[in-house]
Amino acid sequence: MSTPAIDVHAHHIPNEVVRRLRDPTTRAAFPHCQLDEGAGGAVRLKVGDEPWTRPLAPGLVALDERTEKLAGRAIVAQLNGGWLDVFGYSLPPDEGAAWSAFLNDTLLESLAAASTSDVTYMPLATVPLQDGTLAAGELARAVRAGHVGAMIGTWIAGVERDLDHASLEPFWARAAELGVPVFVHPVFAGGGDDARIHDRGLANAVARPNETALAMSRLLYAGVLQRHAGLKLVVAHGGGALPALMGRLARNYDVLKAAGEEVADPRDGFRQLYFDSLVFDPQTLRALLRVARPDGVMLGSDDPFPIGDPAPRAVIEAAELELTDAERRALLTGNACAAFPGLGACCAGLHP
């Protein structure tokens, strides 16, 4: 029998979001959010100044087939954030906070209803990053309601800010205080304006991992993790390009310090980071395990997107990794149970 596993990286949009946006009262509460239901049942959303989304994929909304698939792979729990295309960072702050609460409440209800005796779904909250104080408040409210952490993008559209902006200090402080992980997920690099990324799948294959490296590099140089003891950041896609760039970032740190710039040593912050295992290749995962914190890598799939891993256990269970049974169990389950306190009931009876 396969060792039980926990997937820390997946996405879901509840059908209730669409259903409620059809209601005039809900639409009035979110004047900058639009719903379009086209021919053939295609549904698109427009949130704030962001472009219209791609049509909602059935696998992003319905969970029945996903549950069957997860159960067949002995994945006993899956953490789901929303869809970053509708996180609403370009909304006015108060509307953004209300929109985040709306998304979080519907996500919590939908995942609870979809959970079975074989698979437990747990939610990761979205927060209004356009206002750090409002983001801190929504994170606390969502955690009280049952969310086990948050998922955020790497760039705050609308206010045009990076994650190292001083306005986010209240959010980082609250996340550290609550002890809940924040899952950092890339958005389209540069808003998707670079024409070179729009063919051959390069937006997902290359641009997003590079966007992750850029955003996380700014956070590391800003010393965010050192200022907020206990802050847990989980970086998507095995950290993107970040792990391979750490030598270069360290050398750049030496150059910056010699020039008198006030920057934090990126190696100190990097040692505190967590990562999902979504790298597809055992040798790449081996390289990540050599530089990540010992308990810092956890199974992730990016379910249900096409660029996700359709068999996320395989990279961890590959023989060429030469892992002990204990090390493999940690990657499949134990590290997630340790990092996410809210998974307590799911982890009961599991033995990492």
270-310 confidence digits (pLDDT tens)? 999 999 999 999 999 999 999 999 999 999 999 999 999 99
pLDDT at 189 over 80: no
195-209, 318-332, 336-350: range with lowest mean pLDDT: 195-209
**At residue 193, does pLDDT exceed 90?**
no
Whether 345 shows a pLDDT value over 90: the answer reads: no
Measure the CA–CA gap between 264 and 148, rounded to whole angstroms.
29
Mean of pLDDT values over 174-197: 85
Please report the pLDDT score of residue 190 as a whole number. 53
Q: What is the pLDDT of residues 214-255, one digit of tens each?
A: 999 999 999 999 999 999 999 999 999 999 999 999 999 999
What pTM, to 2 d.p., does this model score?
0.96
Residue 348 above 60 pLDDT?
yes
Q: What percent of the chain has pLDDT over 90?
A: 87
pLDDT at 343: 94
Report pLDDT for 352: 42
What average pLDDT is seen over the chain? 94
- Confidence bin at 191 (pLDDT 50/70/90): low
Using pLDDT thresholds of 50, 70 and 90, give the confidence band for residue 80: very high
Q: Per-residue pLDDT for 337 more than 80?
A: yes
Give residue-wise pLDDT tens across range 16-41: 999 999 999 999 999 999 999 987 78
Q: What is the pLDDT of residues 87-101, one digit of tens each?
A: 999 999 999 999 999
Ordered structural domains, the chain, with CATH: 5-14+59-347 (3.20.20.140)
Residues 141-150 pLDDT 10s: 999 999 999 9
CA–CA dist 287, 249 (Å, integer): 17
Asked if the model's pLDDT at residue 202 lies above 90, the reply is no
Question: What's the confidence (pLDDT) of residue 206?
Answer: 85
pLDDT score recorded for residue 350: 74
